[in-house]
């Protein structure tokens, strides 16, 4: 029997890079969580301990910080592209460099004062190889809720089914959405992200939902129709269940619950995952490599 080394990669995870732009009295802030990884001919590091081809993870971390100043952070996609290309250039044995970036948003209180925003986290995954470059943009932890215009009925039942049908329920989720760009040439990353996020929000708010699956499909369709350069979008959406509180056992005259008071259930939860793909889109290649979960 012969044992061989399989697929492997290494890198520096979750470097917290905060870039303050102080060129004027009115400062700007970009708050990032940066992870890098390299794949390639690193077998000797595993089999013999020879590190000659290995760019240390500490160097990857230092490069992430240095490029926040040297290249700047106009957008997380642009920053990740520059960082990925630099790591590939600095590591001849590497066939691929991947940079994953999360951005935490801050709202301005003054010229140099900010408050951390509680909304979704912007994300980007950039994969750079010797022959191709892929960019996946997105958002996670985007908490959405429709208090009506949602139903769930007509579903399959068996002897264990206890869920009642409803034609008026709360629809809520903490959405993860990621969309793959079909090109990296001439993209205004910030404009594309802002427009994409707005399309998702407006579609969620404006769609009557017979199921969370239908809502996700509508959101994905609207996103791809609004930005022809996008190849596909993937969703992971936990169904944040809200159950009507039963006041029937309370000894309070006239106390009724007419769809007004709910228990927000933490777990277990339904998890809906889906993708919408443009049928003429360029192939994904390694774009989704090491992207956590379904998306």
Does the annotation mark 153 as catalytic?
A: no
**Bridge partner list, 29:** 20
Gap between the Cα atoms of 37 and 292, Å rounded: 14
∠ at Cα 9 (7, 11), nearest 5°? 170
The CA-atom distances, in angstroms, between 129 and each of 96, 98, 291 are 4, 9, 16
φ, ψ at 80 (rounded to 5°): -65, -35
**Active-site hit among 2, 27, 57, 112:** 57
**Active-site hit among 166, 191, 241, 256:** 241
User: Angle between the 57-70 and 76-90 helix axes, to the nearest 10 degrees?
Assistant: 130
Contact 75, 133 (CB under 8 A): no
Residues in Cβ contact with 235 at an 8 Å cutoff, skipping those fewer than 6 apart: 175, 176, 177, 216, 219, 220, 272, 273, 274, 275, 295
Helix (H, G, I), strand (E, B) or coil at 68: helix
Q: Count CB neighbours of 209 within 10 A.
A: 18
∠ at Cα 159 (155, 161), nearest 5°? 45
**Active-site hit among 12, 61, 181, 240:** 12
Residues in Cβ contact with 204 at an 8 Å cutoff, skipping those fewer than 6 apart: 144, 146, 215, 219
Active site residues: 12, 57, 241
């Amino acid at each position: 029997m012969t044992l061989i080394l399989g697929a492997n990669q290494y890198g520096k995870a979750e470097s917290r890079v905060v870039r303050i732009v102080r060129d004027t009295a009115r400062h700007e802030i970009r708050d990032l969580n940066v992870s890098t990884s390299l794949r390639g001919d690193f077998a000797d590091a595993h089999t013999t301990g020879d590190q000659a081809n290995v760019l240390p993870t500490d160097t990857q971390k230092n490069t992430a910080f240095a490029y926040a100043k040297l290249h700047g952070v106009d957008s997380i996609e642009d920053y990740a592209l520059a960082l990925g290309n630099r790591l590939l250039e600095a590591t001849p044995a590497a066939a691929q460099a991947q940079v994953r970036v999360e951005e935490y948003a801050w709202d301005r209180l003054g010229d140099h004062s900010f408050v951390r925003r509680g909304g979704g986290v912007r994300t980007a995954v950039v994969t750079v190889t010797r022959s191709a470059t892929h960019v996946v943009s997105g958002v996670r932890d985007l908490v959405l809720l429709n208090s009506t215009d949602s139903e769930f009925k007509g579903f399959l039942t068996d002897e264990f089914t206890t869920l009642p049908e409803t034609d008026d329920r709360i629809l809520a989720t903490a959405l993860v959405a990621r969309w793959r760009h079909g090109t990296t040439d001439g993209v205004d990353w910030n404009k594309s992200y802002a427009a994409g996020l707005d399309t998702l929000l407006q579609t969620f708010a404006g769609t009557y939902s017979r199921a969370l699956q239908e809502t996700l499909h509508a959101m994905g369709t609207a996103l791809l129709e609004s930005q022809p350069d996008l190849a596909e979008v993937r969703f992971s959406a936990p169904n944040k269940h809200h159950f009507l509180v039963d006041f029937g056992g309370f000894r309070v005259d006239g106390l009724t619950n007419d769809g007004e008071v709910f228990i927000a259930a933490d777990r277990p939860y339904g998890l809906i995952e889906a993708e919408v793909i443009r049928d003429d889109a360029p192939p994904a290649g390694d774009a989704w490599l090491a992207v956590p979960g379904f998306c």
